[in-house]
Structure 1
Amino acid sequence: MTTMTEVKQPNFLMMKRVWIAIALPIVIFYFLGMRGLVQLAIIWVFASIMLLMFAYKKFRIKKWNASTRDHFGEQDGMWSHEFGPTSMKLDQHRGLIHLREENKHKTYPFSAVKEWRYNLSTTRQRTGLDRELDRTHDFRESGFYIAVDDVQYPEWRVMFFPQKGDFNSQEGIRDTELQLKRWMHIFDKIINR
């Protein structure tokens, strides 16, 4: 059975918060007329901006959730994972692994793969700007690492993002951990044959 997992891409204009932000001035105009709309302008403009900002943040997370592309080819022998500017593809029949990270990409025989591991950094509880900096650091340090017999590129990092939840929510951390463990199992099964 060949399995391809891909989540449906979100649509910003279909989010509830966007509709509420659009409807707020319309409802005020309907009930209070132009005068009420102008008098309450500071309130509804501020509320609409806040709603749109929160909607955009949620939209970005949903977009990243939907950006993971996995192919589990138990029948065709092709196994692949892609997220952002990184990907890995295992061709079981030809014994090759194709790796891409940012603007570099190479193909290696399975025999060139020395080891693989994953890192899943989690956020320390902080507040304010420091917490945001920690989140970026955690995401940039997390991933699936593949060490190969290559002097120029001895280690490759393939990025992962939760398909459910945020990278810093318990649900998101658990989802990412399961994805990484699934790929550890696939590498054990395919490369160690």
Structure 2
Amino acid sequence: MKYFMMKRVLVAIFLPVVVAYFGGTKVMNVYWVPLFFVSAMLLATAYGKYVVKKNNSSTFNYFNDNNDGIYLHKFNECEIRLDTNKKEVFLKNEEGAKTYSFDDIKEWSYNITYGGEVAGAGLSSIRENGKTLGQNLSETGLFIRVKDVRKPEWHIRFYPRNSAFNSHNGLNDLKAQLNQWMEIFDQNLNAA
């Protein structure tokens, strides 16, 4: 989904143009401030929706669909690939990438942090909610502890496939994804 092709963005761009064309400079001199704020709010809400849709489409899961022994999750710069044939787990996040054997994996768990939104109007509550959402996203994901002195714990990030992170549907999807990966690890690594 391209940002400038979203309906809200197009309305935000063309609304002042249409008012200027049909109303002339006299109308624009009177209504430029409300038009500016309406357009700015449309652009801001469109950007929020664009980021959610972009993150939704960046989430990719592959669960041994072709019976090839590969389980894969990708979200932005994070990746986890479990290969049951080679008995290896490839882990990648913003700090690096490394392949471990099944024997090197000590434990796995997940965390979902949500909530903490500030109710209210104004830029300060919007800023605080954005900061809280960013912190919640950074604390959420799959945590894998390995036998590695240099990097004993890996954090693989997840994002909902079909909704916003702070929505009920998004949290349910996130929990379902993480539970799937817990089951994948339980079935394949506990058996090893």
Scaled to the shorter chain, the TM-score interval is 0.7 to 0.9
* Partner residue, 1:6: none
Identity within the alignment, %? 37
* Partner residue, 1:49: 40
Q: How many residues align?
A: 184
The answer to whether 1:87 aligns with 2:85 is: no
The answer to whether 1:77 aligns with 2:69 is: yes
SS at match of 2:58: coil
Aligned CA distance change for structure 1 residues 125 and 56 (closer, same or farther; 3 Å): closer
Moved more, 116-125 or 126-135: 126-135
- CA deviations over 1:132-159 (Å, ceiling 9, x no partner): 3322221111110111111221111100
Correspondent of 2:58 among 54, 63, 67: 67
TM-score by length of 1: 0.87
Q: How does 1:44-193 map to 2 (within 5 A)?
A: 44-74=35-65, 75-127=67-119, 128=125, 129-193=127-191
Give me the CA root mean square deviation.
1.7
State the Cα distance separating 1:190 from its structure 2 match.
2.0
1-side partners of 2:185 and 2:29: how far apart?
A: 63
8 Å contact from structure 2 (residues 60, 75) kept in 1: yes
8 Å contact from structure 2 (residues 117, 132) kept in 1: no
Aligned CA distance change for structure 1 residues 27 and 164 (closer, same or farther; 3 Å): same
Q: Which runs of 5+ in 2 are unaligned?
A: 120-124
TM-score by length of 2: 0.88
State the Cα distance separating 1:31 from its structure 2 match.
3.1
SS at match of 2:115: coil
